[in-house]
């Protein structure tokens, strides 16, 4: 997922809410998946809808049967009152927010306290760094910037631990692409504290030529959430395919995540497809359930 810098005004714009009032979690009446691991949606998947009306979008996602959501960078611009309103909506819908995606800048000393406060309000467990920042991705930068990223995550972990919060890191293709013979993700895994979650983006891992099952098995207990992003090598498809239409071996991935990885929740993520955002999210959840049946 790429950080999105949607303006505060546009992101917080509101329109008429969907005519839906749920007394019970939407997933309570849905077909139960084979696993008790909750499945949610990374809300970057419905970013345009979210920018128009955050609460209506969350209601729509809950109505589909998603059990949790993950907010991404623009949430940081909410006021405390808006954050509390969103938490109330989540509670009313029976939906959890276990983690948020955060720009690397949010882990700096001047922003981390605010991020921690907002995540507390939302009921989160993890502040996930959504990308390493430009220095780490610069051509020819080597592995040293990744050691700095690890230090940043470790420091944030120490600051957040007394507050009952943890940190995590979300990979892209670059983290699984060898630099001087070593993949940056290996540096992060080695140099960060065991409590730092390694949130696995399956699609980008596959596109980079790595095996997600092997990676999960190599890092027992640290793959506590996964972005269930699909990928196809066919020309013109890439990430635009729906869940189950690509090359990911989902049954093997789920087996490894649940037997070794220590997964706590799954998150479907979609970069964009041939369908509108909300329809895409619905179709991906249906395909996920069929895979888990």
User: For residue range 115-154, what is the model confidence (pLDDT) as tens digits?
Assistant: 999 999 999 999 999 999 888 998 888 999 999 999 999 9
pLDDT at 32 over 80: no
- Residue 84 Cα distances to 75, 120, 190, 211, 237, angstroms: 12, 10, 37, 40, 39
Residue 140: predicted pLDDT: 82
φ and ψ at residue 34, rounded to 5 degrees: -65, -25
Structure tokens at 146: 């990744």
Q: Extract long-range pairs of 119-124: CB within 8 Å, 24+ residues apart.
A: 119/165, 120/163, 120/164, 120/165, 121/80, 121/83, 121/84, 121/87, 122/71, 122/75, 122/83, 122/86, 122/87, 122/90, 122/97, 123/87, 123/90, 123/96, 123/97, 124/97, 124/98, 124/99, 124/100, 124/165
Domain made up of 39-292: CATH architecture: Alpha-Beta Barrel (3.20)
User: For residue range 46-79, what is the model confidence (pLDDT) as tens digits?
Assistant: 999 999 999 999 999 999 999 999 999 999 999 9
Residue 35: predicted pLDDT: 65
Structure tokens at 231: 């990928």
Instruction: With H, G, I as helix, E, B as strand and everything else as coil, classify residue 283.
Output: helix
Domain ranges for the chain, please list them.
Answer: 39-292
């Amino acid at each position: 997922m790429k950080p999105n810098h949607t303006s505060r005004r546009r992101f917080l714009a509101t329109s008429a809410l969907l005519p839906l009032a749920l007394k019970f979690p939407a997933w309570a009446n849905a077909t139960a998946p084979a696993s008790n691991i909750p499945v949610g949606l990374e809300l970057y998947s419905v970013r345009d809808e979210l920018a128009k009306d955050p609460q209506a979008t969350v209601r729509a996602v809950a109505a589909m049967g998603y059990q949790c959501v993950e907010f991404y960078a623009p949430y940081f611009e909410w006021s405390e009152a808006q954050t509390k309103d969103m938490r109330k909506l989540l509670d009313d819908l029976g939906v959890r927010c276990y983690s948020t995606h955060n720009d690397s800048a949010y882990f700096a000393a001047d922003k981390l306290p605010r991020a921690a406060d907002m995540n507390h309000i939302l009921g989160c467990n993890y502040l996930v760094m959504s990308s390493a920042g430009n220095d780490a991705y610069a051509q020819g930068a080597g592995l040293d910037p990744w050691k700095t990223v690890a230090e940043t995550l470790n420091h944030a972990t120490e600051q957040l631990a007394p507050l009952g919060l943890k940190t995590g890191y979300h990979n892209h293709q670059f983290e699984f692409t060898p630099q001087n013979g070593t993949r940056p993700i290996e540096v992060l895994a080695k140099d960060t504290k065991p409590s730092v979650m390694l949130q696995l983006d399956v699609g980008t891992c596959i596109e980079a030529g790595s095996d997600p099952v092997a990676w999960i098995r190599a890092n027992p207990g640290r793959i506590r959430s996964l972005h269930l992003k699909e990928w196809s090598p066919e020309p013109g498809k890439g990430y635009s395919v729906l869940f189950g239409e690509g090359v990911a071996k989902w049954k093997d991935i789920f087996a490894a995540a649940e037997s070794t990885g220590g997964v706590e929740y799954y998150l479907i993520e979609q970069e964009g497809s041939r369908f509108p955002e909300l329809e895409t999210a619905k179709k991906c959840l249906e395909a996920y359930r069929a895979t888990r049946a």
